[in-house]
Structure 1
């Protein structure tokens, strides 16, 4: 779960710079925990869409490249261009058919050409100008191709039962929003935004991985809180003891909570001449 761009307002920090720095020990492992929790769901959706042999694919914010490599190994696509702001993990795990591009996706013309699949997961939620970026990504889809976007949906509403986990998750979203501009409140607008970008046959689904002791998603959140602790403490909603209590809660049989959901939305570019 690494951003492919410099991030932005309202805070001065940027994803991958102020927090979740790729050079920080263990950051690749944290990203891989997220991949273990979500990759199977992502690949199932991509296969159902029809991604397969002959497809030229763009994977935006590719992180450690788990989806990119599975597209090549399992879906048998022709090629994948994996883009990220920092590509060290992609270079370390490169395979035949995987091309790597270090780029800021907020820059106009960050990549040339068109792709049958354009995919971005847990990227846009960290960036400003989201509507413009969705339109820009849609423009990279070849006629008949598909744009697939996934981002987090916060399930810790006011009606969610109070638990150590709920308190810390609320502090995390607020803290990262202030520090680096992360914002998941608009993610439910994805279907309309893809339709507004000219895509058709728009579909959406949500996956919520279970929070079980020792699970990949539980380990991901515990590690994310560790790395984002300063931003969370700055909110005043939690203290160190509360964060430590939530980590213990995640690792215990007492945990009874909902992880953030992953909303996946897809839409198809009409063939040339189609309406």
Structure 2
């Protein structure tokens, strides 16, 4: 006789229930201020992304794919500053990019997890803060690698949090922990695997693999600080109803990010890259 209690597969270790997805259950583009929230994240990390792409030699003649393009800051930089031949910016809802698209910057509404093919192969395939929100991230990463032309580069970035679990500020630490827990439960976000990026890219047959981690300064006037404040405000209902986080605690964390007492570290971004061997 089996005395083991019944299991709920949605709550077994390593299993994420198949509920909503980014842009629907949380962070809808229809929500007031969503474009500004994304832009604050871009301001925090664009310089690091631009520096990495420049180091890889991106420039005139390149055909580029920017997946999960957000508000299009990297797509536009590729066209305007790097001078690439063409950028295809793909997003489930590319409204924030579409308003500024032009002859060499095209947009495409597409779900990278769906069966619809993307056109052609590219000298650069880039995505940032995308795969961490996808339950099938390994399959999508392989699909992105297949879109890289011989000699081209795959560059991927996602959030990495190596610091906030040991923050001495209780409200900040607990709010960050609650945020990651709610994101996992509601839309499937998972950042536990992202430090494996170098090996994952190598396993996909890419060469010249590298990775770096950037942690932007968490100061009162920093873009990343505004990003966390706007993210928590956007998630307030979910944080207070699903994570045992009281309104006083969330407000204390928000106040801390605006306070001269702020002295902490933010989650950061891991960027990894690999090249499709020529020929």
Please classify the TM superposition score into its range, dividing by the shorter chain length. Answer: over 0.9
User: 1:174 aligned to 174, 181, 186, which one?
Assistant: 181
User: 2:253 aligned to 237, 246, 265, which one?
Assistant: 246
Q: Supply the distance in 2 between the matched residues of 1:95 and 1:257 (Cα, whole angstroms).
A: 41
1:130 offset after TM fit, Å? 1.2
User: 1:163 aligned to 170, 175, 188, which one?
Assistant: 170
1:11 offset after TM fit, Å? 4.8
SS of corresponding position for 1:13: coil
- Does residue 137 of the first structure (1) align with residue 144 of the second (2)? yes
Structure number with bigger Rg: 2
Q: Supply the distance in 2 between the matched residues of 1:110 and 1:134 (Cα, whole angstroms).
A: 14
Query: Could you say which residue in structure 2 is the equivalent of 1:126?
Result: 133
Q: Is the 8 A contact 2:165 2:177 kept in 1?
A: no
User: 2:67 aligned to 60, 63, 66, which one?
Assistant: 60
Query: Could you say which residue in structure 1 is the equivalent of 2:86?
Result: 79
Q: Supply the distance in 2 between the matched residues of 1:202 and 1:225 (Cα, whole angstroms).
A: 34
Query: Could you say which residue in structure 1 is the equivalent of 2:99?
Result: 92
1:161 offset after TM fit, Å? 2.8
SS of corresponding position for 1:271: coil
Q: Is the 8 A contact 1:103 1:110 kept in 2?
A: no
Q: Is the 8 A contact 2:164 2:265 kept in 1?
A: no
Question: Any unmatched runs of 5+ in structure 2?
Answer: 1-15
- Give deviations 1:136-190, integer Å, cap 9, x for gaps: 1000000000000000001246444343222111110001100110111111111
SS of corresponding position for 1:50: coil
Aligned ranges 1:218-233 → 2 under 5 Å: 218-233=225-240
Q: Supply the distance in 2 between the matched residues of 1:120 and 1:54 (Cα, whole angstroms).
A: 20
Question: What is the TM-score with the length of structure 2 in the denominator?
Answer: 0.91
Moved more, 27-36 or 225-234: 225-234
Q: Supply the distance in 1 between the matched residues of 2:123 and 2:30 (Cα, whole angstroms).
A: 32
Aligned ranges 1:189-268 → 2 under 5 Å: 189-268=196-275
Distance 1:74 1:269, change over 3 A: same
- Give deviations 1:37-57, integer Å, cap 9, x for gaps: 111110010000111111000
Question: Any unmatched runs of 5+ in structure 1?
Answer: 1-8
Superposed CA RMSD: 1.5
SS of corresponding position for 1:43: helix
Query: Could you say which residue in structure 1 is the equivalent of 2:8?
Result: none
Query: Could you say which residue in structure 1 is the equivalent of 2:21?
Result: 14
Q: Is the 8 A contact 1:11 1:177 kept in 2?
A: no
- Does residue 108 of the first structure (1) align with residue 115 of the second (2)? yes
Moved more, 138-147 or 255-264: 255-264
Distance 1:90 1:236, change over 3 A: closer
Q: Is the 8 A contact 2:156 2:271 kept in 1?
A: yes
Query: Could you say which residue in structure 2 is the equivalent of 1:29?
Result: 36
